């Protein structure tokens, strides 16, 4: 691939690329790339040559037609064709900021006979292909007023065994296609119950060839009913049968997307006009199957061109070899026609994107309420609706608006989908029987519904030997057939907010967004379901593994290697006389500061006093218990260039809690790293949760946790605990220097369950992004620690994301201190975009540099708003600390000075310097400046501290 100036750029391939090997001109399809997101490692006995880890610059290729698979350097291949489908995103080159969306695809192919390999002259387009293509798993079908999806097939394949004899092979899930050859097609030894027409014949060769395939039975999952029906009409339309065969197949109508009709290399197709084209004959006259003529062709090579709608609103038709897939879009990326929410200081407004200047990070949008168009910052647009997520009440929609390529139901005129624009609901019910995991008994026979389907298919195969079986054919709706026009595919998004939908009969209609509901199909739901189950299973296996050392906290809050099987419940701190600090008749404490706490501040005379008692101070040695030498190395990445210094290296710790204050020069400073307060604030995220009576083990462990926090927190993290709620804590982390989060406050509320430490603490991040996205943004399925706008803290140690054994929460290996330092050390970093493992391998690449820069700018701009939010509405337990930090200690003045300087430098940028390359955020785009200046104007008005309120308990956090 070449630049316009004919200089060569690094070759980079993507999955499904068609490539040609330069040394022997053999063709292949790319199945794996070095930059792909890594899945779980393959089992050690895996013999697939493509499953070994890839080195940078390697690709895994499957060659055709022989099926040889190998991993080779990218430099040995040239690109032949690249596949896109409507709705895909693309760029011209890796370091481009501007991207486009595919709105149309045109494919032409060179064909050859599926068996003989004889070529078909010229190129064939999709108009040359017979439209009623063969049905396959995943296809949608319509019957009556229902949309269903094919989830399984029972096939009858006719196989030529090379001596002129034909054999019928009935089988569930055979996945055989015409033209397949090999010695493993006919099962050996022969199972008479599964093979017909071959009981008494002698095989002469192992070169079996599939010459015909019939799908005799279909299993269909019925997803949803016609949404244009009235409730009374819908109640009368019963869910159709799950199994379909024989003449009933003709009652089904095939509904496919534009992408599914496109030719791809390796596809088997039937042409409308086969005059003069090669064919083969199989079988013998007088045999049960007679003569079978094969006029099926395989796609050998393709050339694809696409229509691209660029972000600036221009359109272009290009060959796909001049484009690359845009696999990791920025959170704020949007394209003309997209429905978004503009989020200002105190309002949200629906808008439709007209054009985007991706370089400057600005967009022209049309507001739906007034019809006026305005220039906005991309950082003020929400294209996804992620801020409405809730763990308690998950949303019934999947993002805002619809996308090209989505399948949608159309509500009748005068009705809507039930949600406020631009939200669009998603429906699709997975029937319980479809969720059944496949089972096979000792005789090789399926169980459950698959056995029922297999029995039905075998009965049809037996009857076919003696009777004539009447079978229907599934067809696409004809142009004059409007019976399924309540369902269709989104083909275009108009700039006025309306949506073009291509209906099953090929006509295109325009609908307002509120009359559409998206389809959530069975296979997607099962993938989500089984993926979660497998992750949970893997986590369970990790927890039971005992082949690694176990880390446990000693009596002084230090983490040491322990023998396997050490139990956190056995940790009970004792005094010098061997007596337990917790002396209770019933063995349990009171989380409401009852009889064990005295009047006043409650820190005298109870078990709380034992935690903070100066007569039994923890003896802290020179080693920080949060240091990487004491915490498993997989938890804190000391080798990472992104880990801030204060998360990994700290000065010598004081010997007791009272000496913590000496770390701060200002004698009036309230900046205590750990403190115990009488009451939990009302604005705590978990204040309304029920507080259970803590157990002896809970209180014993809490002592150790408090000691570790009091002695070992870095200066940039403070934690507050509460006498009246032993299950709650609040933490404040100040963004580390030279990161996008520098000087910004990050507040996380914590709740300890009654079985703590057997289960991890629950965390809630207090996000102040004004509905403008995550503070740390990862992919659709993030892997590393993340702070979400809705409050979710995604971290392996908290059990909110999968991790290996050393990264997951363990009562003997994990602590609150470890969780807090992990957030600072693994999330609030200089280049947070690379926290995702799939992205980390892109360090130093053009793609990684561009995406990391865009993300860091967003993180910096939004986190300046955190300062404003913390000063405008102070948080309970942290009012004096935040006021002191930003006013008396001068942090607000620093924030303003640094931000104004960055804006000035961005508007009149000097030549690049080495110093700039070392800065987390060296410059801002125009869109970043627009959003930042709104925040700076508010911060300027907050330069003088407000008078202390008379009733701090009334400072409630806004929702």
Q: Is residue 814 within 8 Å of residue 787, measured between CB atoms?
A: no
DSSP string, 725-745: -TTEEEEEEEPPTTSTTTT-E
Among candidate residues 538, 578, 570, the one with its CA nearest the CA of residue 554: 570
Of the residues 33, 90, 334, 794, which is catalytic? Answer: 794
Cβ atoms within 10 Å of 490's Cβ, excluding its own: 23
Rounded distance between C-alpha atoms, residue 603 and residue 655, angstroms: 20
Checking phi first, is residue 138 left (phi over 0); if not, alpha (psi -120 to 50) or beta?
A: left
Cβ atoms within 10 Å of 83's Cβ, excluding its own: 22
SS3 at position 209: strand
Beta strands in 657-699 (DSSP E): 674-677
| Tokens found for residue 350 | 């629906």
Q: Which residues contact 8 (CB under 8 A, 6 or more apart)?
A: 1, 2
Q: Is residue 403 within 8 Å of residue 87, measured between CB atoms?
A: yes
Pairing of strands 717-722, 674-677: parallel
DSSP string, 144-180: TTEEEEEEEEEEEEEEE-SSS-EEEEEEET----TT-
Whether 835 is catalytic is no
CA distances from 935 to 344, 900, 932 (A): 11, 11, 5
Strands across the sheet containing 381-382 = 373-377, 362-367, 348-357, 339-343, 381-382
Find the helix or strand (DSSP H, E) in which 533 lies. Answer: helix 522-544
Q: What is the dihedral of CA 585, 586, 592, 595, to 10 degrees?
A: -20
Q: Is residue 356 within 8 Å of residue 312, measured between CB atoms?
A: yes
Q: Judging by beta carbons within 10 Å of its beta carbon (0-12, 13-18, 19+), is residue 252 exposed, middle or buried?
A: buried
Pairing of strands 397-400, 58-64: unpaired
| Rg value, the chain, Cα | 33
For 958, which DSSP code? P
Q: Which residues contact 585 (CB under 8 A, 6 or more apart)?
A: none
Rounded distance between C-alpha atoms, residue 269 and residue 134, angstroms: 9
Instruction: Please identify every residue annotated as catalytic.
Output: 794
């Amino acid at each position: 691939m070449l630049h316009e100036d004919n200089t060569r750029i690094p070759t980079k391939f993507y999955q499904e690329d068609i490539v040609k090997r330069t040394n022997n001109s053999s063709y292949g399809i790319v199945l794996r790339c070095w930059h792909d997101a890594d899945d779980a490692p393959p089992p050690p006995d895996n013999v697939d040559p493509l499953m070994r880890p890839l080195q940078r610059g390697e690709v895994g290729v499957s060659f055709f037609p022989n099926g040889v698979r190998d991993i080779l350097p990218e430099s040995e291949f040239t690109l032949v064709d690249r596949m896109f489908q409507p709705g895909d995103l693309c760029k011209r080159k890796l370091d481009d900021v501007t991207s486009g969306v595919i709105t149309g695809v045109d494919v032409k192919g060179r064909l050859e006979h599926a068996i003989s390999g004889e070529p078909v002259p010229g190129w064939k387009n999709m108009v040359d292909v017979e439209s009623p293509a063969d049905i396959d798993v995943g296809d949608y079908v319509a019957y009556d007023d229902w949309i269903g999806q094919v989830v399984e097939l029972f096939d009858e394949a006719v196989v030529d065994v090379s001596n002129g004899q034909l054999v019928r092979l009935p089988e569930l899930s055979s996945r055989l296609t015409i033209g397949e050859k090999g010695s493993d097609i006919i099962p050996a030894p022969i199972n008479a119950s599964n093979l017909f027409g071959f009981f008494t014949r002698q095989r002469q060769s192992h070169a079996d060839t599939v010459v015909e395939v019939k799908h005799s039975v279909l299993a269909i999952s019925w997803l949803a009913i016609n949404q244009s029906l009235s409730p009374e009409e819908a109640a009368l339309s019963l869910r159709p049968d799950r199994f379909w065969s024989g003449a009933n197949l003709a009652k089904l109508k095939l509904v496919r997307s534009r992408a599914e009709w496109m030719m791809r290399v390796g596809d088997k197709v039937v042409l409308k006009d086969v005059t003069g084209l090669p064919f083969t004959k199989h079988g013998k006259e007088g045999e049960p199957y007679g003569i079978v003529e094969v006029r099926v062709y395989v796609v050998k090579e393709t050339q694809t061109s696409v229509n691209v709608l660029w972000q600036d609103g221009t359109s272009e038709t290009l060959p796909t070899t001049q484009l690359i897939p845009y696999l990791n879009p920025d959170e704020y990326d949007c394209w003309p026609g997209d429905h978004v929410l503009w989020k200002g200081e105190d309002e949200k407004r629906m808008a439709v994107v007209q054009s985007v200047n991706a370089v400057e990070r600005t967009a022209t949008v049309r507001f739906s309420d007034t019809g006026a168009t305005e220039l906005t910052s991309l950082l003020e647009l929400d294209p996804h609706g992620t801020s409405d997520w809730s763990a308690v009440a998950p949303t019934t929609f999947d993002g805002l608006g619809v996308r090209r390529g989505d399948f949608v139901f159309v509500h009748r005129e005068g009705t809507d989908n039930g949600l406020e624009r631009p939200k669009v609901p998603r429906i699709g019910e997975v029937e319980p029987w479809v969720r059944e995991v496949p089972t096979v008994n000792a005789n090789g026979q399926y169980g459950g519904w698959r056995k029922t389907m297999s029995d039905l298919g075998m009965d049809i195969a037996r009857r076919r030997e003696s009777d004539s079986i009447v079978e229907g054919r599934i067809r696409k709706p004809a142009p004059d057939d409007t019976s399924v026009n309540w369902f269709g595919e989104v083909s275009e998004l108009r700039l006025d907010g309306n949506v073009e939908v291509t209906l099953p009969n090929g006509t295109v209609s325009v609908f307002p967004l509120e009359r559409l509901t998206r389809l959530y199909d069975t296979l997607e739901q099962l993938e989500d379901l089984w993926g979660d189950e497998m992750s949970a299973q893997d986590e369970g296996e990790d927890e039971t593994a005992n082949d690694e050392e176990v880390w446990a906290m000693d009596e002084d809050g230090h983490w040491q290697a322990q023998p396997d099987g050490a139990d956190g419940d056995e940790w009970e701190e004792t005094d010098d006389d061997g007596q337990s600090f917790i002396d209770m008749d019933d063995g349990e404490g009171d989380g409401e500061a009852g009889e064990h706490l005295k009047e006043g501040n409650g820190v005298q005379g109870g078990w709380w006093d034992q935690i903070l008692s100066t007569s039994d101070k923890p003896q802290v040695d020179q080693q920080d218990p949060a240091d990487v030498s004491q915490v498993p190395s997989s938890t804190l990445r000391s080798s990472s260039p992104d880990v801030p210094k204060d998360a990994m290296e700290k000065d010598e710790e004081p010997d007791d809690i009272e000496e913590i204050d000496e770390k701060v020069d200002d004698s009036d400073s309230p900046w205590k790293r750990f403190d115990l307060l009488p009451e939990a604030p009302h604005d705590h995220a978990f204040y309304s949760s029920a507080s259970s009576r803590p157990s002896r083990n809970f209180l014993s462990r809490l002592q150790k946790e408090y000691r570790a926090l009091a002695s070992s927190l870095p200066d940039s993290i403070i934690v507050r605990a509460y006498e009246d709620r032993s299950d709650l804590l609040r933490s404040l982390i100040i963004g580390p220097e030279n990161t996008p989060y520098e000087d910004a406050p990050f507040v996380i509320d914590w709740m300890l369950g009654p079985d703590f430490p057997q289960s991890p603490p629950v965390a809630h991040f207090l996000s102040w992004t004004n509905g403008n996205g995550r503070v740390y943004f990862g992919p659709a399925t993030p892997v590393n620690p993340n702070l979400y706008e809705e409050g979710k803290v995604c971290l392996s140690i908290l059990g909110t994301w999968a991790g290996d054994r050393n990264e997951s929460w363990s009562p003997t290996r994990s602590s609150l201190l470890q969780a807090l330092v992990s957030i600072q050390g693994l999330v609030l970093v200089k280049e947070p975009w690379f926290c995702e493992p799939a992205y980390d391998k892109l360090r130093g690449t053009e793609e990684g540099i561009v995406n990391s820069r865009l993300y860091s700018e967003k993180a910096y701009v939004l986190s300046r708003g955190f300062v404003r939010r913390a000063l405008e509405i102070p948080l309970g337990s942290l009012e004096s600390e935040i006021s002191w930090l930003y006013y008396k200690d001068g942090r607000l003045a620093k924030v303003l000075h640094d931000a104004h300087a960055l804006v000035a430098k961005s508007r009149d940028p000097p030549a690049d310097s080495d110093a700039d390359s070392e800065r987390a955020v060296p410059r801002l785009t125009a869109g970043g400046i627009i959003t930042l200046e709104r925040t700076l104007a508010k911060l300027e008005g907050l330069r003088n501290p407000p008078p202390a309120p008379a009733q701090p308990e009334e400072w409630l956090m806004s929702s």
